Structure 1
């Protein structure tokens, strides 16, 4: 898995030409599947349910016991079939003969690792990055599982193209350089949101800060 995603980031991919879904903690990019099916009028209708759920979590479709999508008994045939309230989707078999059946795939998309682009975070948290050179402060929502290197690469570089020219330091109270290969928690920056809420305070009552010190090295941009 290349990276972690927040639920908000998944919701940004809610279009027919940019469609992500989360399924059992994994993030699937179904854009190419939808594009391929829409190019064929015979099977294009099968993409409608996927477009409807793009940007959302579809784990409620899943049956943990069978490790597959949930099934039901078809009232007309008495046969067991997939329970899809929005309609059949690509790679899903039918009870009756159907011209929309596609036999060109080997693994259905919901079990095909090639569609997986990342993982859904189990928890988000906020962090303040204070640039001591410019005085700028950036507050980011990040995934608890992300290392500082991943945080820098995926979230802070778009804000500061020279982010790699800085040393990340925590002041608590003595300055200490942080390990970029570790997560915030592993670096001793504890998430206190639950404690604040238990006291009736806003989860963001206090957002911890990391201070960035410029290394005077323009070679890293």
Structure 2
């Protein structure tokens, strides 16, 4: 079995139904369909279902990879911060005897749901051929430097700046990393 592929936000957004529910967070994509099936009918699925096919990184602390927390002003206790409402595996705000916490690892810490990793630029180019059959005739560059097509973006020295955007409270969707494609005057078609 080969390495899983990289998914764009648009591709993730296509998985937004109860029978096929994906989300992305902290740079990875997760298939939560099995979780939805397991907790079918549970009101605690509502925030997850509302965000189907979307990025939910703003729910998480990028350093701890756990749900964001805050200090409850009434109790002074540290609690999970869930402004969309409590969801599956998040403990109730007050002690309760009817909350079952024997589920093992919470879904956001369970790697079984992960579905992708980063592609090499060659793999991206193969997908791009669908839109431009002359894609092999381009030189791909970032900041004026030619990229090694057999490597991933990070291996080519292109940093993932999601954490910096999170720390600065900036919407990462408003910034697009640019890779420039330079046409080589070769009309070769593969």
- For Structure 1 versus Structure 2, the TM-score category normalised by the shorter chain is 0.5 to 0.7
Identify the match of residue 107 of structure 1 among 94, 105, 108.
105
Distance 1:151 1:86 in 2: 38
Residues 35-54 of structure 1: pairs in structure 2 closer than 5 A:
35-38=37-40, 41=41, 44-54=42-52
Map of 2:19 onto structure 1: 17
Q: Tell me the TM-score normalised to structure 2 length.
A: 0.63
Shift of 1:194: 4.2
Task: Name which of 1, 4, 8 aligns with 2:10.
Answer: 8
* Matches for 1:1-221 after TM superposition, within 5 Å: 2-38=4-40, 41=41, 44-98=42-96, 101-119=99-117, 145-146=119-120, 148=122, 155=127, 170-171=136-137, 182=150, 194=178, 211-212=189-190
Instruction: Give the conservation status (yes or no) of the 8 Å contact 1:14–1:55.
Output: yes
The superposition leaves residues 23-78 of structure 1 with CA deviations (integer Å, 9 ceiling, x where unpaired) of 1111011111011101xx5xx00000000111111111111343311101223322
Q: Distance in 1 between matches of 2:187 and 2:20?
A: 34
Residues 90 and 205 (structure 1), Cα distance of their counterparts in 2 relative to 1, 3 Å cut: same
Distance 2:66 2:152 in 1: 35
Q: Which protein shows a greater Rg?
A: 1
Q: Hey, what's the Cα distance between the residues in 1 that align with 2:98 and 2:25?
A: 25
Please, which runs of 5 or more residues in structure 2 have no aligned partner?
Answer: 139-148, 154-176
What is the alpha-carbon distance in structure 2 between the residues aligned to residue 56 and residue 89 of structure 1? 16
Contact 1:13 1:55 in 2 (8 A): yes
**Cα pair distance change 1:14/1:100, threshold 3 Å:** farther
Q: Tell me how far apart the structure 2 counterparts of residues 79 and 195 of structure 1 sit (CA, whole Å).
A: 46
Q: Unmatched 5+ residue regions in structure 1?
A: 122-144, 160-167, 173-180, 186-192, 197-203, 213-221
Say which structure is richer in strand.
1
TM-score, scaled relative to structure 1: 0.55
- Cα separation, partners in 2 of 1:66 and 1:9, compared to 1, 3 Å: same
